[in-house]
Chains A and B, each alone.
Chain A
Amino acid sequence: KAGVTQTPRYLIKTRGQQVTLSCSPISGHRSVSWYQQTPGQGLQFLFEYFSETQRNKGNFPGRFSGRQFSNSRSEMNVSTLELGDSALYLCASSSPVQETQYFGPGTRLLVL
């Protein structure tokens, strides 16, 4: 089975721009979660989508949003980028819920 894939792998943006990241889960997995990893804060949960519905949300501002499509692929969007949004963004898929989460390689975002 193919693993979790994320595109793009690297991204450079400037402050004020917006960005969209994509995640394709393992085939058959319906739950996709997103995490932000920074040196200072470590790994923090952003949100989870299951069957196209946001089921859980972490403590991030409304500039961070996401969606899930009928094929379980998910996108996250960050609007009005700030320097502090520079991070490694990881997505994970799992099935059934609350079992092992499988992580993708991440998208490294640099905001200048």
Chain B
Amino acid sequence: KQEVTQIPAALSVPEGENLVLNCSFTDSAIYNLQWFRQDPGKGLTSLLLIQSSQREQTSGRLNASLDKSSGRSTLYIAASQPGDSATYLCAVLPYQAGTALIFGKGTTLSVSS
């Protein structure tokens, strides 16, 4: 059974710091991996999607990497800003799963000015 773990559960950093969020999954048979952002009481915003054949994706100050063999992904946020404060969720899409994403519990990030 696929399980997704995100460590740490919470993280507080000062503005301007570079940071890394971690995601691990137990079964490497995935079609893709997505990182989402969720603001309190809101829906999810897709940040980056990495196909299983890819190693990384970049969007602005965000860079996500994928190492299927070790079951790990990282989300790198450069020069953090208070507006980056949110919960970041990692989700994997197993093969033959249709659209049934399996989510981690998330990392809640707080960036102080």
- Residues of chain A touching chain B, judged by Cβ–Cβ distance below 8 Å, are 4, 31, 33, 35, 42-45, 48, 50, 55-56, 58, 88, 90, 92, 94, 97-106, 108
Q: List 13 A-B contacts (CB under 8 A).
A: A4-B43, A33-B99, A43-B103, A44-B103, A45-B100, A56-B97, A56-B99, A90-B43, A92-B99, A94-B99, A97-B98, A98-B31, A103-B45
Q: Check B46 against A101 for contact (C-beta < 8 Å).
A: yes
Contacts of A42 in B (CB 8 A): 103-106
Complex alpha-carbon distance, A105 and B44, angstroms: 7
Given contacts A33-B100, A58-B100, whether A101 and B34 have CB atoms under 8 Å apart is yes
Contacts of B99 in A (CB 8 A): 31, 33, 48, 56, 92, 94, 97-98, 101
How many pairs, one residue from A and one from B, have CB atoms within 8 Å of each other in the complex? 63
- Residues of chain B touching chain A, judged by Cβ–Cβ distance below 8 Å, are 31-32, 34, 36, 41-46, 49, 89, 91, 93, 97-106
Given contacts A98-B32, A99-B49, A100-B49, whether A45 and B101 have CB atoms under 8 Å apart is yes
Q: Give A53 Cβ to nearest chain B Cβ, in Å.
A: 11
Q: Give A57 Cβ to nearest chain B Cβ, in Å.
A: 9
| Given A42-B106, A48-B100, A99-B49, 5 new contacts (CB under 8 A) | A33-B101, A43-B101, A48-B98, A98-B32, A105-B43
With beta carbons under 8 angstroms apart, the residue of A4, A33, A48, A105 that contacts B42 is A105
Contacts of A102 in B (CB 8 A): 46
Q: Give A106 Cβ to nearest chain B Cβ, in Å.
A: 5
Complex alpha-carbon distance, A43 and B41, angstroms: 13
Contacts of A103 in B (CB 8 A): 36, 43-46
Complex alpha-carbon distance, A77 and B104, angstroms: 26
